[in-house]
Amino acid sequence: MGWATRHIEALNRGETVSFRPTGGSMTGRIESRQRCTVEPVDDAASLRIDDIVLCKVKGAEYLHLIKAIQGERFQIGNNRGYINGWIRADAIFGRCVKVEA
């Protein structure tokens, strides 16, 4: 069970979630403890480069960016240049639609 497990479960039920993630990996886009609202992703074709998504990469949960799209694969990374890896759409659970203080 990770930091976002209960949020992922809610997204899988079709619910929108809000939470305050901590850390500095998304500084410049999301500051630590800012409220983030995340909606379920119904259609992977709607995902775009630079979308902030709640996802799992190699078993770890992230609220990070889509850095590249290659067919049905999405490259996930943070806002500081680090790349987490490539995932398929079934590892993306929601898209961040609002960031507020």
pLDDT in tens, 42-97: 999 999 999 999 999 999 999 999 999 999 999 999 999 999 999 999 999 999 99
Give residues with Cβ within 8 angstroms of 50, minimum separation 6. 65, 66
Looking at the structure of the chain, the number of domains it has is: 1
For residue 45, count other CB atoms closer than 10 A to its CB: 9
Predicted model pTM: 0.96
Cβ proximity of 58 and 2 under 8 Å: no
Task: Give me the CATH number covering residue 43.
Answer: 2.10.109.10
pLDDT in tens, 19-33: 999 999 999 999 999
- Domain of residue 64: give its range: 5-100
Residue 87's φ and ψ, nearest 5 degrees, are: -140, 165
55: tokens are 């996802």
Strand partners, 52: 65
